[in-house]
Chain A
Amino acid sequence: MTASSHHDVTALLHAWSAGDPGARDRLVPVVYQELRRRAAAHLRRERSGHLLQPTALVHEVYLRLIDQQRAAWQDRAQFFSVASQMMRRILVDSARARRTAKRSGRWSRVTLDQAGPAAEGVDVELLDLDRALTRLGAFDARKSQVAELRFFAGLSIDEATHVLGVSRATVERDWRAARAWLFKELSRSRAGDDA
């Protein structure tokens, strides 16, 4: 995977911070592919009781793709804003695929036979969370992004502050509200399912 060598990705991030408008477009597929490839590898190896840890994955990919010595925090921020979006997409796609496969009775496929009940439980939560995030994004994009950064890249408030370029206090308030709202929505959908 020569296209994703340290230098290229770090250079793309530099170019992006330096204002090259095409840099992000070139960066996204590289990050997406690398994340997806590694996520697939992890999912294949999953056993019940062990969950995929997207944060670890995102950081792992960061370590692999980004030249640590050359990356400035702006690069890092931009990387995580892209990577959290991509991670969310990958997890959601994978959860949907599993669901579909299960419904269509192809449960014994190789990609599925190791998905125990725990993994299934997470799929459901994930899809709920994804939908709730999308709904939140429709009327408050930034809060939705804060939550995305927390959930899918595991960023701290401070780190999210860097990514979003707003004050820490704002991110804290965003997160508090987003978290409460999401939890409310998820509890509601859970109660609805159980009924």
Chain B
Amino acid sequence: MTPERWRQITAVFHATLARDPGARAAFLTDACAGDRDLRVEVEAMLDAHHGAGSFGHDPVAALPPREAGPFVLGKTLGRYVIHAAIGAGGMGEVYKATDTRLDRTVAIKVLPEYVATDPESKQRFEREARTIASLSHPHICPLFDVGDEDGVHFLVMEYLEGETLAQRLDAGPLPLAQTLRCASEIADALDKAHRRGIVHRDVKPGNIMLTTGGAKLLDFGLAKPSSAVSRTGGEAATATAGHAPLTGHGHLLGTLPYMSPEQLQGRDTDGRTDIFALGAVLYEMVTGERAFDADSQAGLIGAILNDDVALPPERQAATPPALDRVIRRCLAKDPDERWQSAGDLKHELQWIATERVTTPAAADMPRLVTARRAPVWWVALALAAGAAATWLGVSALRNRSPAPGPLIRFSINLPAGLRLQSHTTSLAIAVSPDGDRMVFSAVDENGLAQLYVRELSTFEIRAIPGTEAGLGPFFSPDGQSVGFAAAGALKRVSLAGGPVMTIADKAVDEQFGGGHWAADDTIVFSPNRTAGLAIVPAAGGVPTPVTAQDADKGVTSHFLPQRLPRGNAILFTARAGFNAAPSRIEVLLLDTGQRRVIAESGINARYSPTGHVVFGGDGLLAGSLWAVPFDLATLTVTGPAIRLLDSLLAPAGLANFALADRAGTMAYVPRGERAPEELVWVDGSAQTRTLAETPGNFIFPRLSPDATRVAITNRHGGDLRSGIWLLDLNRPDSPLLFSSTSRNDHLPVWTPDGSRLVFSSLRDGDNRAGPANLYWKRVDATGDAERLTQSPHHQDPGSWSPDGNLLMFVDQDPTTQLDIWVLDVRNRKSWPVLRTSAKERHPMVSPDGTWFAYTSDEAGRPEIYVEAFPGGGQKQRISSEGGQEPLWSRDGSRLFYRHENQVIAVAIGPGPGLSMGRSTVVVEGPFETSAGTGSPNYEVSADGSRFLMVRRNDPSSFTATGLHVVANWSAELAARTRTK
């Protein structure tokens, strides 16, 4: 096919689709004007468009598995003759077929093999199928028959004409009336099912058909893998699939964006799970956007577990407030906070629908939502981690059978100035075997590490003398002594006092991987990152290696060992590299040297006296904690893993928790809340002062012209979404949200009079069309954001001419890369100033408006240039060894730029020509440079004496200042396991 012909075909194809269905044939005849081939091609495309079902909605893994044998077209399954494949999803293929006995068209869904092969799944499936077949409801797709031919299991359903809600949503949000009607129909369908004890568990737009007879719910409670698909051996980390969406590989099955927190956490589900999902669907019908969205599965899970969802402000204005409340209540994290029945939800939706007709539209609601909501969002973020930690306790108390012993949770806060040591190969905390004391490795204000002990019977936390620089503490079996690594040696010390004893000198290094002191008074430990495990007598001696490094398998370290109480075996973690493959949990049989994999993906496993192995999730699941039943006699896993917690601190994936060997006490380090980046003032003497320690990722600070406020972009944890915040320099800890986070507003630049911020945004009232163009909005929040440019390219604002008439910005034209343009805001006309194949960025107009400085890579690497503003003159190169992010001092006497980790100042002489003086380094340090194109990622104070920099905290240095302790942990664990 030639590109020209293809253009012709696609043009007619799109134009035809834009017509009403009834008018398409006539249009096509006209448009093709006798070109028969063209018509054939377009019609084939149109057929494919309508027949493609869910093709392409999911990435390749969900492509219909083609089982060529049984499913050729024309094949018969009992009395059904298959005509055409009409779609496929993760759970099976769907075909259009004829029921030869009743002579009607039906849809046949072929079930995946695992449903058919597992007897218990099959039984459950058939039982559910009978129940569902008995459900007669106008908004549930009827199930006619269940079949089993030649080992092929299939369902026979009504063949529905129409499109799925997912297809409809591709075209944007639904009108309010339709939204309310559709949602209440589905709620009604769910109500009926729930009353029969059937939970759908996969309510999503792809399972809702929009037909002339209204909405129809598909795939009712069927074809879900039953809870019996647990495995043994190497795949024991499998969550029970009926409850949790995880397969053995840590992959997520099902439809993540619509899953409820309880589904994700593997807790029990009931009708309220469907209500959550319907809330997410409702949100999407209203906004056209998913209620939970993130750019990774981990992010999505985090969003579902933590983020409160509210309609975007501009939608709120056009939506009855009651509907906003309905959605929020559906999406409550705690099932008890949701609508308790789908029937109630239906009535509420119907009430809103009738109320709408009789009351004036809610369009005149106060538009203060932005300011009013800001603090709520803020607090929610700050509390998220803490909230995650409390779910377990709350849900356990509410939903589980009572635990035999009282469950006690408390926190231990370190004395001021101390923080737990960050280490990526050993743990900072240890719990004594009887659970009565804790030891931890902490760092003081001067950066000195030492071991500290807290007896739970006292309030005191005391340093253990002689344990300076101690790493990876572990208790002796009697709980009276502690082993640790320091200065290259494995050492021990008695908590009752006395000198530190060296067990093995020159036996370990900084990458010490933890140890365990067994009842036979030997210690198994991981000397460093590359060696295998070794055993040494606790009284001292020469370590004997017990595992060899298996580099051939890509595994580079064995660490965090525990000698199991029986069976002469060691439980340990095998890790491949440090940013690479998932770690796995293994058992080593000391008598034979044989090794067994307990979990394919996991880190830091501990045997609990309840008969479980508890371990941290790795990779995408880092920070989660799991328990799997484990038989000490056979050293095998005997059941599926259960997810216990989601809020552990896990530097480099290492889950920071410790269990008592004999008692039911557990300690863990909760995930910190501190931002990975912070804003700091840096002055000439390299002193830094933190301006704001804030949740979020604050970048691109811009000081207001009156130097009282900073406008800044929050990247929201790496999410594509970002928002603009205002920090009052006098009250930097209470930032104000300037623009909504859901509209992708970013990179604010002040107008010279300080009245407005211009920024880059994906917002567009009508069609959400990208890419990011320029907008501005008044800082006092009166009035809406106003669009300044209309371009198919991304644009980032740079800086203003002093009179506030001209804005320099960067335009990302794919053909000429980054270019510098000027916008005249008086007439909204813009024109290119530097449009070359080189990348020009960071256009910064000098304070007097004579010059503009910019970054260009025309000489092969980024360098700073200055030209007369607004362009057209000679340029002069300022930097010589590379530079970017130019920035003028407010008096114009100096031009700053960044080179590697420095900020360099170049003196600029007065007078008409550009004369450069000396260059000096004014700031040096590990500060963030610009990943953007518009303005620089730092700022200078009004008097030029200080710099506002974004400091990146070392991600490996966590600043945990406390730990959570759970007493009777094991009793609860047992209870949780029993109820599974």
Contact = CB atoms under 8 A, between A and B. Distances in A.
Contacts of A134: none
A27 interface: no
A71 B792 contact: no
Q: Name which of B56, B60, B933 has the most chain A CB atoms within 10 A of its CB.
A: B60
A73 B49 contact: no
Given A53-B59, A193-B68, A194-B68, A159 B580 contact: no
A25 interface: no
Given A53-B251, A59-B296, A140-B6, A122 B577 contact: no
Contacts of B52: 179-180, 183
Interface in B817-846: 817-818, 838-839, 841
B723 to A, nearest CB: 14
Nearest to B298: A63
Interface in B4-47: 6, 10, 13-14, 17, 44-47
B101 interface: no
A42 B715 CA distance: 32
Interface in A131-154: 139-140, 147, 150-154
Nearest to B171: A172
Contacts of B798: none
B771 A159 contact: no
Given A1-B580, A180-B13, A165 B812 contact: yes
Contact of A122 (B63, B249, B676): B63
Interface in B638-661: none
A65 B61 contact: no
Given A41-B581, A139-B1, A122 B65 contact: yes
Given A1-B580, A50-B249, A118-B113, A151 B297 contact: no
A18 B295 contact: no
Contacts of A74: 931-933
Contact of B3 (A53, A70, A140): A140
B579 interface: yes
Contact of A60 (B1, B45, B295, B619): B619
Contacts of A147: 56
B931 A168 contact: no
B720 A73 contact: yes
A191 B51 CA distance: 15
Of A54, A151, A173, most buried by chain B (CB within 10 Å of CB) is A151
Contacts of A153: 59
A184 B862 CA distance: 47
A122 B62 CA distance: 9
B351 interface: no
Contact of B46 (A38, A41, A170, A180): A180
A118 B213 CA distance: 36
B61 A52 contact: yes
Contacts, number: 224
B17 A176 contact: yes
Contacts of B6: 139-140
A99 interface: no
Most buried by B among A34, A62, A68: A68
B697 interface: yes
A150 B56 contact: yes
B928 interface: yes
Nearest to A5: B579
A65 B295 contact: no
A100 interface: no
Nearest to B858: A19
Contacts of B933: 17, 74
Contact of B771 (A55, A162, A176, A194): A162
A45 B771 contact: no
Q: Which of B620, B718, B838 has the most CB of A within 10 A?
A: B718
Interface in B661-684: 676-677
Contact of B66 (A52, A55, A124): A124
B45 A184 contact: yes
A42 B247 CA distance: 12
A36 interface: no
Contact of B579 (A1, A152, A180): A1
The winner among B68, B235, B297, B931 for most chain A CB atoms within 10 A is B931
B48 interface: yes
B42 to A, nearest CB: 10
Contacts of A70: 928, 931, 952
B884 A18 contact: yes
A50 B2 CA distance: 40
A102 interface: no
Residue from the set B61, B578, B812, B862 with the largest chain A CB neighbour count within 10 Å: B61
B56 A121 contact: no
Interface string A22-65: 00000000000010011001100101111111111001101111
B600 A69 contact: no
Given A53-B61, A59-B296, A139-B3, A68 B720 contact: no
Contacts of A140: 3, 6
B911 interface: no
A122 B718 contact: no
A125 interface: yes
A93 interface: no
B158 interface: no
A111 interface: no
Q: Which 10 A-B pairs have the closest CB atoms?
A: A72-B931, A121-B65, A19-B857, A184-B48, A68-B718, A19-B839, A154-B59, A180-B49, A183-B52, A51-B61
30 contacts: A1-B580, A2-B577, A4-B580, A5-B579, A14-B929, A45-B249, A49-B112, A49-B113, A50-B247, A59-B295, A63-B619, A69-B676, A75-B931, A118-B65, A121-B66, A129-B60, A151-B60, A152-B59, A158-B720, A162-B771, A169-B769, A173-B10, A176-B17, A180-B13, A180-B45, A182-B55, A183-B48, A183-B52, A183-B55, A190-B66
Given A121-B64, A139-B3, A184-B45, 7 more contacts: A20-B857, A53-B61, A59-B296, A72-B715, A139-B6, A167-B771, A168-B771
